[in-house]
Amino acid sequence: MSTEAVGLRAGLRLKSQVCATEVIVVRPGTRPLSLCCGGVPMLGRDASGAAETTPVAERMRGSLLGKRYTHPGDDAVEVLVTVGGAGSLSDGETDLVLKEAKPLPASD
């Protein structure tokens, strides 16, 4: 199991090794992150078979479909959940937080 920080870029799609969660990186932020789900590093969406991994119990609070998450220490980070799951998102030991939506009026 890899624990390296994934080089994030806008448009990168990642999947959890411990649950159904999938995300897309909307904005990568200003420094490298070790993006985890359920406490275990996420893999590229097209990566083949993950090794046997055990989630970290306190990082199994869920990720919500369609919600945006950001980093408490870098609000330039934006990660969108495209498939929700049981694991929660973190940068290593730092939990990502739900980003408040500022709704725009429908325009087309």
By C-beta, is 37 or 39 nearer to other proteins? 37
In the sheet that holds 89-91, the strands lie side by side as 40-41, 35-37, 89-91, 94-95
2 contributes a contact to other proteins by CB under 8 A: no
Count, residues near other proteins per rule CB under 8 A: 19
C-alpha 44/C-alpha 86 separation (Å) is 18
Q: CB under 8 A: which stretch of 28-36, 50-58, 59-67, 86-94 binds other proteins?
A: 59-67
Distance of CA 87 to the CA centre of its chain: 10
Residue from 2, 5, 26, 86 binding other proteins (CB under 8 A):
26
C-alpha 62/C-alpha 38 separation (Å) is 8
Residues forming contacts to other proteins in the complex (CB under 8 A) are 10-11, 13, 24, 26, 65-67, 80, 82-83, 101-108
